[in-house]
Chain A
Amino acid sequence: MANVLVNAPKTAKKGDVVEIKALIMHPMETGFRAGPNGRLIPRNIIEEFVATWNGREIFRMKLSPAIAANPFVSFRAVATESGTIAFGWKGDEGFTAEHKVAITVT
């Protein structure tokens, strides 16, 4: 189970710009570091983060090995309709994580 912290407003007025923040626990191992045995630790990063609002994509980000562990992403979106904001993370070693929050737009 992925360990996720998401901060999005529960309510918004139609047309408002809302700030959405998503934090996830992940080592973001670069693939350039050597372990105690001197061998390179294989790369293990999140490659992609996508957020959708009622299924429509509102934010997409490609992540690179230079990004620190436990990546924190903050972005803004225009509140259009009530529904679900869904977040998805995908990465090396078959890593996937999902999280959903409900928002009411009036």
Chain B
Amino acid sequence: MTGLRRPVLALAAVFVASLAVAQGGARRSGYQDMGPAVQKMQDDDTANPAMLFVQLGAAAWSEKAGAAGKSCADCHGEVAASMKGVAARYPAVPPGADRPVDLGGRINLCRTTQQQAPAFAAENDTLLGLTGLVALQSRGQPIAPPDDPRLAALRSAGAELYKSRQGQLNLSCANCHDDNAGQKLAGATIPQGHPTGYPIYRLEWQALGSLKRRLRNCVVGMRAEPWRSDGVEYLALEAYLMERARGMAMDAPGVRP
């Protein structure tokens, strides 16, 4: 093969790949885009550090809390049975609530209304652990956002945010995760940005973190001013990203570089 042909072929491959993304085909999870060492770490539940947090969550699942003196297990029973597929549906509007929440928000709702305990702070280890425990029960299940008209406005707001340029670098999410997915940003492969593995143990964080934390990282990376930590923008993006990843298999709790 000549020296010229190879880059041309590679360029053609990149073009085809980006076209496929634009058309909504050939979706790849972040898991597929990372190196074999990190994949191996995620696949082995005794090497995946996210499972340490899941253990914390499992302990919290059966621990009585709050003024009501109830544990998660008192209402929901075995987590493996009751929480199967739940994480694949969120963000959603829970029964009795009037607005959408993400999975962490759902757990906090249970905590404040059912257990009558103070809500967990954002990125609290136990909250992440419980989220991870619930997400684990959806492993391998397809992402299935509910067909709820109350989510439509949120999703379209998310889609709009996803396409909007922002920050000093004047980038949108789509500029990287649609137009340049699979290419390199410094040494790292740009993933397509499908939220299949959340909460993730990010090696850079040395901790488990939520999709909100990951989104905040990206916003800061674009040198934009991050939204308020309880801002509806994060929820809108989460709802849009889940819709965008509809049908993809969950692989939570993931390990990401």
Q: Which residues of A come within 8 Å of B, CB atoms?
A: 3, 5-7, 21, 23-25, 28, 68-70, 72, 74
User: B49 — which chain A residues lie within 8 A by C-beta?
Assistant: 23, 25, 70, 72
C-alpha gap A28/B52 in the complex (Å)? 15
B87 to chain A, nearest CB (A): 21
The 5 nearest A-B residue pairs measured at CB: A7-B46, A69-B206, A25-B52, A70-B49, A5-B46
A24 and B52 alpha carbons, distance in the complex (Å):
7
Docked complex Cα distance between A7 and B52 (Å): 13
**A5-B46, A72-B47 known; A23 vs B52 contact (CB < 8 Å):** yes
Contact A70 B47 (CB under 8 A): no
In angstroms, Cα B44 to Cα A83, docked, is: 25
Q: B56 touching A7 by the CB < 8 A rule? A: no
Tell me the total A-B contact number using a CB cutoff of 8 A: 36
Q: Residue of A at shortest CB range from B205?
A: A69
List of B residues within 8 angstroms of A28 by Cβ:
206
* Interface residue B39 (Cβ < 8 Å from any Cβ of A): no
Known: A5-B55, A23-B47. 7 other contacts (CB 8 A): A5-B46, A21-B46, A21-B47, A25-B49, A25-B53, A69-B206, A70-B49
B207: chain A residues within 8 A (beta carbon): 69
Residues of B within 8 A of A5 (CB): 45-46, 51-52, 55
Closest to B41 in A: A72
Expressed in whole angstroms, the minimum distance between the Cβ of A24 and any Cβ of chain B is 8
Q: Which one, A6, A7, A24, A68, contacts B44 given CB within 8 A?
A: A7
- CB of B101, distance to nearest CB on chain A (Å): 28
In the complex, chain B residues 183-214 whose Cβ is within 8 Å of any chain A Cβ: 203, 206-207
CA separation between A70 and B48, bound complex, in Å?
A: 10
B residues in contact with A6, CB < 8 Å: 46
Q: How far is the CA of A20 from the CA of B61 in the complex (A)?
A: 29
With a cutoff of 8 Å between Cβ atoms, the chain A residues found around residue B56 in the complex are 3, 25
Chain A residues near B55 (CB-CB < 8 A): 3, 5
A21 CB, nearest partner CB in chain B, Å:
6
A-side contacts of B44, CB under 8 Å: 7, 21
Question: Hey, which chain B residues are within 8 Å of A68, CB to CB?
Answer: 203, 206
25 contacts between A and B (CB under 8 A): A3-B52, A3-B55, A3-B56, A5-B51, A5-B52, A5-B55, A7-B44, A7-B46, A7-B47, A21-B44, A23-B49, A23-B51, A24-B52, A25-B49, A25-B52, A25-B56, A28-B206, A68-B203, A68-B206, A69-B206, A69-B207, A70-B49, A70-B52, A70-B206, A72-B47
